[in-house]
A and B are shown apart, each in its own frame.
Chain A
Amino acid sequence: MSKIFPKSANALPLQIVIFLTVLGGVAAAGITYYATPAYLRVGYQPVQPVPFEHSLHAGQLGIDCRYCHASVEKSATSSVPAAQTCMNCHSIIKTQSPLLEVVRQSYATGQPVPWVKIHAVPDYVYFNHSVHVNRGVSCVECHGKVNEMTAVYHAKPHSMSWCLDCHRDPAARIREPGDVYNLDSQTLAEQGKLAKAQGYIHDWNVKPPTSCSGCHR
């Protein structure tokens, strides 16, 4: 009987197994790297109807976050300001700017400015802003240095494991209450005051939930 396969074919099954292993490794690496909010969400920078510059208003002018996001301390939602908030200043400053035409229209008619939401959690996630900012968790922890962003982008992954990193070790991430809205401040741990942070965690009775129902209902 003549030979159908050359002798080198004896090594082929092993080579195929090795190749499939490499292929599986590459696929796993690709999924790990790409199929996560760290890739999918971070960097989302939609074009807004008004090119509002946080770097000018919050950074250069130093206007407090709460001037516009007024409900953040007492509500689950950090409100997007109504056009009237813009008009507090812009009824006097840059009254003819074409960039503000949308705001002036909104103020005159009551039709909302169609801002594009960037930091959106799924509808089964119940995040409460007030409990976080009133317990030393700064805006910058979840939103990044908005005071340096010309146009706001999604800076942190907002994945569930990312939430839990802090929920499992809150002392490492909290600030002095007076530093919460100062996006250039350091956490107590970064200042080398971890013991003080742990004292706050105890005094404020901070017990971040790590069970499902803490955030999902």
Chain B
Amino acid sequence: MRYAYYTLAFVVVLLISVMGFRGMKATQPPIEVFPDMDHQAKYKPQAESKFFADARADRPMPAGTVPYGRGTGVEPGRDFHDPAFLRADDFRYAGKAADGSFARGFPVPVTKELLQRGQGRYAIYCAPCHGALGDGNGITKPYGMLAAATYHDDRLRGMAEGEIFNTITNGKNTMLSYADKLSPDDRWAVVAYVRALQRARHATIADVPADQRGGLK
């Protein structure tokens, strides 16, 4: 009987030495004990496809696709004069005025909420290169990102809002497009926040409400 216990102890030691403990790093895919329906014959987002040559289950848009916009179009209470439908409003979706030049001003109301949204988006997508203050001193600069523009020179301060919108949408020089990360309305929020940064950099004591000037001294 003693030998049965010895054998059991040996098997336990053997098992632990082979299996190890919880949380140990492993490069092999996890073992699936009961893989019932874990892997179904369907595509999930960003999945791999054996059918398409580029192996992408998410298909890129075919050439000539018309942007439809989200939550717009054929819905009760909406008509085809809706500027969001087919993104027909060039000001809002391309930053262009009727004559094709870059538009000045904003196609959406500039509210506190818009500026706060812009501030949040700016911190995520713009600040790594352009810096929290918009002076081109982002965290990436010490790593070699020397080309990021400051917003505080006369060229960018005088630039039309539509052109800033266009730069976010399509990129410029070494900056690539951020259209995949910022929706058109988010882009306008960022443009509004960039304008706020520019105003703040060139602010004087006269811009501060008289009753709050004491707090700055």
Contact = CB atoms under 8 A, between A and B. Distances in A.
A87 B45 contact: no
Given A87-B176, A91-B176, A92-B174, 16 more contacts: A12-B1, A19-B1, A30-B15, A34-B19, A39-B23, A43-B22, A43-B26, A45-B26, A67-B124, A77-B45, A77-B46, A80-B46, A84-B177, A88-B175, A112-B56, A122-B38
Contacts of B28: 44
Given A19-B4, A35-B33, A38-B22, A123 B38 contact: yes
B81 interface: no
B29 A43 contact: no
B26 A91 contact: no
Contacts of A154: 30
A111 interface: yes
Interface of A: 12, 15, 19, 22-23, 26, 30, 33-35, 37-47, 61-64, 66-67, 70, 75-77, 79-80, 82, 84-85, 87-89, 91-94, 110-112, 122-124, 153-154
B37 interface: yes
16 contacts: A22-B8, A38-B22, A39-B23, A40-B30, A62-B139, A67-B181, A84-B177, A85-B181, A88-B175, A88-B176, A91-B174, A92-B174, A110-B60, A122-B39, A123-B42, A124-B38
Contacts of A94: 143-144
Nearest to A22: B8
Interface of A is mostly: loop
B22 A19 contact: no
B42 A43 contact: no
A70 to B, nearest CB: 5
A123 B27 contact: no
B119 to A, nearest CB: 12
A93 B56 contact: no
A61 B177 CA distance: 22
Contacts of A15: 1
B128 A92 contact: no
A171 B40 CA distance: 34
A67 B30 CA distance: 29
Given A45-B26, A77-B45, A63 B145 contact: no
Contacts of A35: 33
A38 B21 CA distance: 10
Contacts of A39: 19, 21-23
Given A26-B12, A123-B42, A123-B44, A63 B139 contact: yes
Most A CB within 10 A of own CB, among B12, B28, B124: B124
B113 interface: no
Contacts of B125: 67
Contact of A43 (B23, B39, B55, B139): B23
B21 to A, nearest CB: 8
Contacts of B203: none
A46 B144 CA distance: 30
Q: Which 8 A-B pairs have the closest CB atoms?
A: A122-B38, A123-B40, A77-B45, A64-B124, A93-B144, A70-B181, A39-B22, A41-B30
